[in-house]
Amino acid sequence: MEGNIRVYIIGVFGNPIQYIYPLKSKQEQVSIATILKSACESHRVSYSEILQGVKGGQFVILASGYSVTDAQLEVKTVRDGDEILVTVLPIGG
Residue range 5-32, pLDDT digits in tens: 999 988 766 778 899 999 999 999 999 9
Query: H or E segment at 4?
Result: strand 3-10
- Residue 51: predicted pLDDT: 81
Phi and psi at residue 64, to the nearest 5°: -75, 5
Look up residue 10 and give its amino acid: I
Domains of the chain: 3-87 (3.10.20)
pLDDT band at 48 (very low <50, low <70, confident <90, very high): confident
Which positions ≥6 away from 80 have C-beta within 8 Å? 3, 4, 5, 23, 26, 27, 28
Q: What is the pLDDT of residues 50-69, one digit of tens each?
A: 887 776 555 666 766 777 87
pTM metric for this prediction = 0.82
